[in-house]
Amino acid sequence: MTRITSCFTGIFFAAFLAACGAGETPSETAATTTPASENDIDLIVNGSHIVTMDEVGTIIENGAIAIDDGVILAVGSADEVTAKYSAAVTLDGERRIVMPGIVNGHSHAAMTLLRGVADDLALMDWLQNYIFPAEVEFVDAEFVRIGTELACWEMIRGGTTTFVDMYYYPDTIAQVVEDCGMRALISATVIDQRSPDAENADDGIRKGSGFIERWQNRNSRITPIFGPHANYTLNAGQLAATRDAAMKYGVPISIHLSESPFEVQNSQNTYGMTSIEHFESIGFFEGPTIAAHVVWPTQEEIPILAERRVGVIHNPTSNMKIASGIAPITEMLEAGVLVGLGTDGAASNNDLDMWEEMRLAAFLQKVDRMDPTAIPATTVLRMATSGGAAAIGLGDTIGSLEVGKRADLIQVAFEDVHHVPTYDVVSHLVYVSDEQDVASVIIEGKVVMLERKITSIDTERVAEEATALAARIQAALKERNEAN
Ligand SMILES: [Zn+2]
């Protein structure tokens, strides 16, 4: 069943595919899309419900969104919007819920290629004995390209439109993001050990600075940032030096913070204080910070996170799988901390499914507090959209469907058996829907998935490349295990 109506001709996609370098379609046809009047626009997306996630949680029945030049021009009833605008492409809204694209606030995208390579281990054992050695051995620019493409494919398929990544070869990540049409904050990793792309922390800062100079203000969808790994993999001077470099370029930092009891104890042993107290003492929070995990903040530290506007990214699946603990999300939200959601890398999750993160975020708080009213569905949906956008510093740009914001939105199909009946759309989005229900994905006004067909990534090629690379990794691991 096709859901494109109106005057769709394929021209729009030809222009898009040519622009992102992903297609073979010739670009000369694009000229015929030149608008005849200001009400001739790129795209109208209809929905049986538009879940705007604006300040007051407006939901519009039989609504539509008008989009031109990557920006939302109008949000209203389908009748009003279609009466006013004429679009080159219109997406039908029958049994389609329209909502903002999902924000994945913490990922290591290319780790999709290490999915399942080592499971059921504690964080430090997993990192030091499996992940770090495997990365030094296998991760190069080619690994990062293929792994990130695989991740972008998986994220688009699941309705994620923005992610905050921390991995190696950030130029390669940025190139993949530029080509596949997603939005991302991409961290240049800084860690005080030999990594796949740097010798030590100083080298990481130097190379990261080059990356930021190359990518800053180059593409409106891409924000290059610094990613100092954690309080236990960098010393105080290196953390401060990374923050200084970030301040110099005016970019945020993403970091793992207060993730495990090990980290808290290690910080106590080294500095006589916790990670958050330590960061506060060295002025680390004076620039914008996106902090992943934050499982173990004390009652005294939560107000610091709120006051410093630290964006906390909750990763319930990873925290559960590695048994890092249960983050006090309810207390942080009550204290006014900005909280978003993330998947973490696919080696500790083991997928990039944000619908699962939403459900687990809700359930984990409810069972931890033995209180079913803890973080209700609307709060969780906000953490995955407008709240997540605010936590990563893009609250004015994306995260809700409002006039003037960038057009990052998805259509979720409500036609599976698990959507029958539907009494409450938000309840269903959080407690029922999953990534297979995402039908279409629009980022910056471009349709990157249409009725489950991804248009911006050559998925067949990526699947072949990922399978071939994984076979090489598996053979090398087997050889290494046999030698030991
Ligand atoms: Zn992480």
Q: Average pLDDT per run of 10 along the chain, which is 484 residues long?
A: 34 36 36 61 98 98 98 98 97 98 98 89 83 86 98 98 98 98 98 93 98 98 98 97 98 97 95 96 97 96 97 97 95 98 94 98 97 97 98 98 98 97 97 97 98 98 96 85 76
343 CA distance to ligand 1 centroid (A)? 8
The pLDDT of residue 181: 98
**Beta bridge pairs of residue 170:** none
The pLDDT of residue 373: 97
The pLDDT of residue 122: 82
196 CA distance to ligand 1 centroid (A)? 16
357 CA distance to ligand 1 centroid (A)? 14
69 CA distance to ligand 1 centroid (A)? 34
The pLDDT of residue 130: 82
347 CA distance to ligand 1 centroid (A)? 10
211 CA distance to ligand 1 centroid (A)? 20
CA distance 202 to 191: 9
345 CA distance to ligand 1 centroid (A)? 6
230 CA distance to ligand 1 centroid (A)? 9
353 CA distance to ligand 1 centroid (A)? 15
30 CA distance to ligand 1 centroid (A)? 41
- Nearest Cα residue to 254 out of 333, 342, 165: 165
138 CA distance to ligand 1 centroid (A)? 19
Amino acid at the residue 188 = A
**Beta bridge pairs of residue 99:** 410
Contact assessment for residue 184 and residue 165, using Cβ atoms and an 8 Å cutoff: yes
469 CA distance to ligand 1 centroid (A)? 23
257 CA distance to ligand 1 centroid (A)? 9
340 CA distance to ligand 1 centroid (A)? 14
112 CA distance to ligand 1 centroid (A)? 13
72 CA distance to ligand 1 centroid (A)? 32
According to DSSP, residue 348 is labeled G
The pLDDT of residue 36: 53
320 CA distance to ligand 1 centroid (A)? 13
- Nearest Cα residue to 173 out of 188, 159, 191, 158: 188
248 CA distance to ligand 1 centroid (A)? 25
Contact assessment for residue 340 and residue 312, using Cβ atoms and an 8 Å cutoff: yes
99 CA distance to ligand 1 centroid (A)? 27
Nearest-5° angle of CA 159, CA 161, CA 164? 125
240 CA distance to ligand 1 centroid (A)? 20
95 CA distance to ligand 1 centroid (A)? 36
CA distance 390 to 398: 9
165 CA distance to ligand 1 centroid (A)? 9
315 CA distance to ligand 1 centroid (A)? 9
